Structure 1
Amino acid sequence: MDFNKQYKEELFDSEVYLELGKKESDPIVKAFLFRMAEMEKKHASIWKEISEKRGIRIGKLGIKDKLMIKLYGIIRKVLGLELTLRLLESNEENDIEKYNELAKSEELDENEREKMREISIDEAVHEEMLTTIKAKDVSDFVYGISDGLIEVLAATSGIAGAVSNPLIVALSGLIVGISGTFSMSIGAYLSTKSEKEINEHKREKVKIQKLVDRGEVSKKLSQILSELGIKDKIAQNISPQLVDVAEDIIAPKIEESPLKSSAVTGLSYIVGAIIPLIPYFLRLGGMLGLITSYVISGISIFFVGFMIGLLSDVNPKKKGLEMMGLGIGAAIVTHLIGLLASLVI
């Protein structure tokens, strides 16, 4: 077992959370990050104690580690906190499983194994705390870029198969992108507005039910709590106490603005749509323009897929490669269709 490695990993994570916490403006999130830093520092001190007990010399974080800590601060500014934390987590082993295994290790004595079990519990709390950090705008932006990038890449590839003039290809692709931007923006606006209206109707309905029959509302709350995994008896006992805030449990208020959702979706879509068009606006035509478009689009799709993987708890590299393969594959198929069309024109 590499005791020094275990110590440095926990210390590194502690320093990253501390760095992110210092730069966070939201007081609640700042407190969360400092709490995480303290938790990881405690784990590092346990490894230090275990190592010193065996006469093992513990090293400090190196220059590379310190640069990586600063890099996470920069990534936070570019990608937002949620993606940064998920990126940090993706570089680690499954800590809960790791510490559960260490709690059975013969290399440790009973007291040390107990400390491993305690760390395992901390890591479970750690995972639960991380789920509270959400950045819907970031998620919407990433998915919007994905849509614009892949759709316009496929369309442009098909157009390039039928038309040789790179400027015409670029303008045609831009028209497709602008059309898609309006469509996606309007769709996002109507969807968010409709969701809010339905939600408000549910909340009003619950408020009326509270006035008419509090017992029925209590039953509904009990059912919801049971579905969330709370034991039936406990759910039945606490549900009457929650009737006054029933609407916040049954239909939590949606704060998202339809206009903001529309703007984020439209902006992200057109950002993605422009990427495949860059070579054609630079007057690169023929096979050179096509391959250049594929290369920059492929790299961009992989990066977007990587971020989607982080957001959806899927292997980021695998997700990035999968999306890149599907995106380029679709583009090649539409290019062949464009070539066939050129024979008819």
Structure 2
Amino acid sequence: MDYNKNYIEELFDSEVYRRLGDVEKDRVTRIYLYKLSEMERKHSEIWKEIAISRGIKLGKLKWYHKWKINFYVIFRKIFGLELTTKLLENGEESDIKKYYELSKSEELSEEERQKMRELSVDEAVHEEIISTVKSKDVSDFVYGISDGLVEVLAATSGLSGAFNIPFLVGISGLIIGASGTLSMAIGAYLSTKSEKEINEHKRRKIEIQKLVDRKEVAKKLSMILTELGIRENIASDISPQLVDVAEDIIAPKVEESPKKSAGVTALSYISGAVIPIIPYLLGIGGLVGVISSYIISGIAIFIVGYLIGLLSSVNPAKKGVEMLSLGILAAIGTHILGLLASYYLHI
């Protein structure tokens, strides 16, 4: 068992969460981050105690650990806290399993095994706290970049097969990107606005029902609580006490702004859309232009896929490779169509 490695890992995590807490503006989130830091610090102290009892000398955080900590802080400033915590959370499941296995290790005393069981529980709590950090804007932005990247890469690849003028391909790609941006932004605006309007209508209807027949509202609440898994008799008992806040339970307020949703969607889509057309706007045409576009777009698609993997709690690298493969296949398919159009239409 590598006591020093376990000690350093916990010390590293403690320092990461402390630094993230230092740069966090939201007071409640900052408190959570400091709590996580303290939790990891406690874990490192347990490993320190176990190591000292065996006469094992422990090391300190090295330069590359400090570099990684700075990386997480910079990553948080660019991509937000949700993606940063998802990146950190990647190893948490294995930590829970690791401490559970250690709680049965013959290398440790009964008292130390008990501490490992406590650490396993701590890591589970840790994961639950991290899972509460969410940002819809970040999710929308990442998915929007993905749409713009793949769609415009496929379109420009097809155009490059049909036309041998790089600037024309680049301008056409910009027009397609602008068109897609407007379409996506309008769709996001109307979708969010419609959701808010429907939600507000439901809330007003519940408020009127409360004035007319509170018992009927209580019945609705009871049904909802039962569907959530609460026993029917308990749901019936507590629902009358919740009538005053019924609208917040049945139709919680939609806080998202339609304008903000449209803005985030537009910015994210166009951010992805400009990447595939960069080589063509620089005047790089022919096979070199296509390959250049594929390379820079492929790197971007993999990164976006990796981030989507983090957000979706699936293997980030696997998701990145999957998105890269599908994106490149779509581009190759449309490129072949462009070549066929050029040949048969004599463009």
Q: Distance in 2 between matches of 1:233 and 1:97?
A: 38
Q: Distance in 1 between matches of 2:120 and 2:230?
A: 23
2:87 match:
87
Amino acid across the alignment from 1:33: L
How much has 1:93 moved relative to structure 2? Answer: 5.1
Aligned positions of 1:1-345 closer than 5 A: 1-92=1-92, 94-345=94-345
Q: Distance in 2 between matches of 1:100 and 1:240?
A: 44
Q: Distance in 1 between matches of 2:306 and 2:129?
A: 23
1:287 is paired with a residue of what secondary structure? helix
CA displacement 1:259-278 (0-9 Å, x = unmatched): 11001101111111100000
Moved more, 53-62 or 257-266: 53-62
Gaps of 5+ in 2: none
Q: Distance in 2 between matches of 1:12 and 1:341?
A: 57
CA displacement 1:14-41 (0-9 Å, x = unmatched): 1000001011111111111111111111
Q: 1:67 to 1:218 in 2, by over 3 A?
A: same
How much has 1:292 moved relative to structure 2? Answer: 0.3
How much has 1:228 moved relative to structure 2? Answer: 3.6
CA displacement 1:174-193 (0-9 Å, x = unmatched): 11111101100000000000
2:308 is paired with a residue of what secondary structure? helix
**Where do 4+ consecutive residues of structure 1 move more than 6 Å?**
none
CA RMSD of aligned residues (A): 1.6
Amino acid across the alignment from 2:256: E
Amino acid across the alignment from 2:162: A
Q: Distance in 2 between matches of 1:220 and 1:48?
A: 55
Q: 1:213 to 1:118 in 2, by over 3 A?
A: farther
Moved more, 1-10 or 108-117: 108-117
Moved more, 294-303 or 20-29: 20-29
Q: 1:206 to 1:70 in 2, by over 3 A?
A: same
How much has 1:221 moved relative to structure 2? Answer: 2.9
TM-score, structure 1 as length reference: 0.95
How much has 1:85 moved relative to structure 2? Answer: 1.0
Q: Distance in 2 between matches of 1:320 and 1:283?
A: 29
Amino acid across the alignment from 1:59: G
Amino acid across the alignment from 1:180: G
How much has 1:205 moved relative to structure 2? Answer: 2.2
How much has 1:92 moved relative to structure 2? Answer: 4.9
Number of matched pairs: 345
How much has 1:63 moved relative to structure 2? Answer: 1.4
Q: 1:255 to 1:51 in 2, by over 3 A?
A: same
Moved more, 290-299 or 92-101: 92-101
TM-score, structure 2 as length reference: 0.95
Q: 1:17 to 1:236 in 2, by over 3 A?
A: farther
How much has 1:321 moved relative to structure 2? Answer: 0.5
Q: Distance in 2 between matches of 1:92 and 1:80?
A: 19
Q: Distance in 2 between matches of 1:232 and 1:340?
A: 65
1:5 is paired with a residue of what secondary structure? helix
How much has 1:231 moved relative to structure 2? Answer: 4.7
Check conservation: 2:87, 2:310, Cα contact below 8 A: yes
Q: Distance in 2 between matches of 1:194 and 1:303?
A: 33
Q: 1:289 to 1:312 in 2, by over 3 A?
A: same
1:283 is paired with a residue of what secondary structure? coil
Amino acid across the alignment from 1:331: A
Gaps of 5+ in 1: none
Percent identical pairs in the alignment equals 67
Moved more, 307-316 or 91-100: 91-100
Q: Distance in 1 between matches of 2:204 and 2:257?
A: 20
